[in-house]
Chains A and B, each alone.
Chain A
Amino acid sequence: MNAIHTHNLTFGYKNRPVLHGVSLSVAGGEMLAILGPNGSGKTTLLKIFSGVLRGQGELKIKGKNIESYSRRELSQFFAVVQQEARVNFPYSAAEIVLMARASYHSPLTLENRHDLEVARTSMDLTDSLAFADRYLHELSGGEKQRVMIARALAQEPEILLLDEPSAFLDLRHQIQMFELLSRLNRERRLTIVAALHDLNLAALFFPRLVMLCNGRIHRDGAPGEVLTEKTIQDVYGIRVRIEHDSATKKPQLFIRPSVS
């Protein structure tokens, strides 16, 4: 069964169409990156998948129309890591992660031992247990992002959506995060859909890439099929050279500045 299936999905604000007839199927256990320039509709597509925005057209999650789920049901198998976490109040990292358990316990009770265990395991997986008791607003961008991924994992999701999760991370933390995502995908069959800007990292870690351009799917396939010199020229309007790394066999971009 497909984890996510859309047919002819369309979305737009009053005078500004954002998505035109997007048809896409994501199988359970798949790991997929959504690529494309700013304004191509990546974030909008993720927001429609997670039920924050409602588009026109068909959207099925695990074989059922998204409207047939309540928010609470959705949050028990669908987790989202946002571009940037906004926290204006003093919460510790552990408190933030435990919030993931809200849809599992009654609104009138505290988290039980199992909830605490799930939170601890998730923080351990993302290497964030060391600063569990520190306030979130005191953490660095990288530490914060690891807490946010831990929170998403503590929801015990089957599908994980990430909106540019590496935007605020340095190279080492980016690699660590993508390795963690690959591992979760392999070991737990977690379905992962991530909107990304970094084409090289996407090619290295994601077996399937979807290139959006002006709200339409321009290319969909393995890195070798999607990342071609022509596609990049068509979608981003820049000239690049693409070579396949001899070790990973993955395509990598080399950029030629127009002024040099």
Chain B
Amino acid sequence: MKVLDRKKLFLVNSILLALLVLSAAACTLLGPVRLDLSQALTHLFSSNPDAEILLRARLPRVLLGVAIGGGMAACGVVLQALLGNPLACPQMLGVSGGASLGGILGIIFFPNWLLPIASGRLGEISWIPLAAFLGALLSMILVYRFSLFHGRLHPYHLLLSGVILNSFIAAVIMFLNSIVDFYQAQGLLFWLMGSLSTRAYLTVGFIWLYILVGFLWLWSKGVSLNLITLGEDAAMYLGVEPGALQRQVFIASSLMIGAMVSVSGMIGFVGLMVPHVMRLLIGSDHRLLLPASFLAGGIFLCWADTFARILLAPAELPVGIVTAFFGGPFFLFLLYREGRRSLGL
């Protein structure tokens, strides 16, 4: 019997982690400006242009990309498990829309709110991730309530009401965008498009914190996630309380999606494609699938963002375009191949 054992768990994650570290290092060195690494490293903390680019521009961006790619992939995995649908993703559930709306309302009405860290001694941080989290959570609760009949969650209704809510929120965002003044509208648009471009280490650190907390919470539910893919009834027979699991997964993934949308907007295809590919490669046991997808998502977005930076240098592409260019055709191919296989062709 081939089943998940310690060796496989350790081996797959170690290989992916090594690849992630290598990718992050390579992507930090790659860019439109050639870096003199020896110059940068010898004058790491003095004002040297090479060190500045390395530490101020590239490194935080790569770290942010890894967190967001990993977070998107992990959220994709758990939402797919919960809905029993391998094609579910955060965009389909109205969560990303809710996060965007939450962030936008925050920017319009309380643009200058900051959350002090350690009573301001360590600096201050934007409260927009929190607003986006609240937006994500509210929209998830809404979609959840509209799909709950007789205390049972109906995945079909969940998907449909999520898609409807997302379209509705898109209209609300456009409406808000047309009633604010020109400068604010510019700012909103910029925020909505999202990018991984230079952020302060403090922001990057906080995004990592949000994402790591959510991820560890989800990872601890690995066994229950395995069971819930068999349907609510089967999960109950095997000892899982589906309602409690659903609520926890929704809160944890809202936390992550809120944080991600607040800095980078919704970057498409990572949450859909990475889990799918990982399932083909390593199987569906969530105790392995979750960390492996997190690492693979980090690797994927790290490289996608590097392409976005250097492809049209010195101009920069939004990273979502790169992920869609890779992800769209690849995903269609996968679906086609699976369709043929299921027909025995």
A residues with a Cβ closer than 8 A to B are: 13, 47, 50-52, 71-72, 74-76, 78-80, 82, 85-92, 94-96, 98-100, 102-103, 105, 107-108, 110-111, 116, 119-120, 123, 132-133, 155
Distance in Å: Cβ of B211 to nearest Cβ of chain A: 20
CA distance in complex: A90, B278 (Å): 11
Asked if A50 contacts B3 (CB within 8 A), the reply is: no
Contact of A99 among B2, B220, B221, B238 (CB under 8 A): B238
Give B141-173 as 1s and 0s: 1 = Cβ < 8 Å from A's Cβ atoms: 000000000100000000000000000000000
Number of chain B residues close to chain A: CB under 8 A = 36
Distance in Å: Cβ of A111 to nearest Cβ of chain B: 7
Taking A89-B279, A132-B2 as given, write out 19 further A-B residue pairs in contact, using a Cβ cutoff of 8 Å, ordered by the A residue number: A52-B237, A71-B240, A72-B239, A76-B239, A85-B234, A88-B229, A89-B284, A90-B280, A92-B2, A92-B283, A95-B3, A98-B3, A99-B227, A99-B230, A102-B226, A107-B224, A108-B220, A110-B9, A133-B1
CA distance in complex: A120, B150 (Å): 38
Q: Is B85 an interface residue (CB 8 A)?
A: yes
B residues with a Cβ closer than 8 A to A are: 1-6, 9, 81, 84-86, 150, 220-224, 226-227, 229-231, 233-234, 236-241, 279-280, 283-285, 287
Report chain A residues within 8 Å CB of B280.
90
Distance in Å: Cβ of B4 to nearest Cβ of chain A: 6
Closest chain B residue to A106, Cβ basis: B223
Distance in Å: Cβ of B234 to nearest Cβ of chain A: 6
CA distance in complex: A99, B234 (Å): 10
Asked if B6 contacts A102 (CB within 8 A), the reply is: no
Closest chain A residue to B288, Cβ basis: A110
Closest chain A residue to B85, Cβ basis: A88
Asked if B3 contacts A94 (CB within 8 A), the reply is: yes
Asked if B5 contacts A110 (CB within 8 A), the reply is: yes
Asked if B283 contacts A95 (CB within 8 A), the reply is: yes
Asked if B2 contacts A107 (CB within 8 A), the reply is: no
Report chain A residues within 8 Å CB of B238.
75, 99-100, 102-103, 155
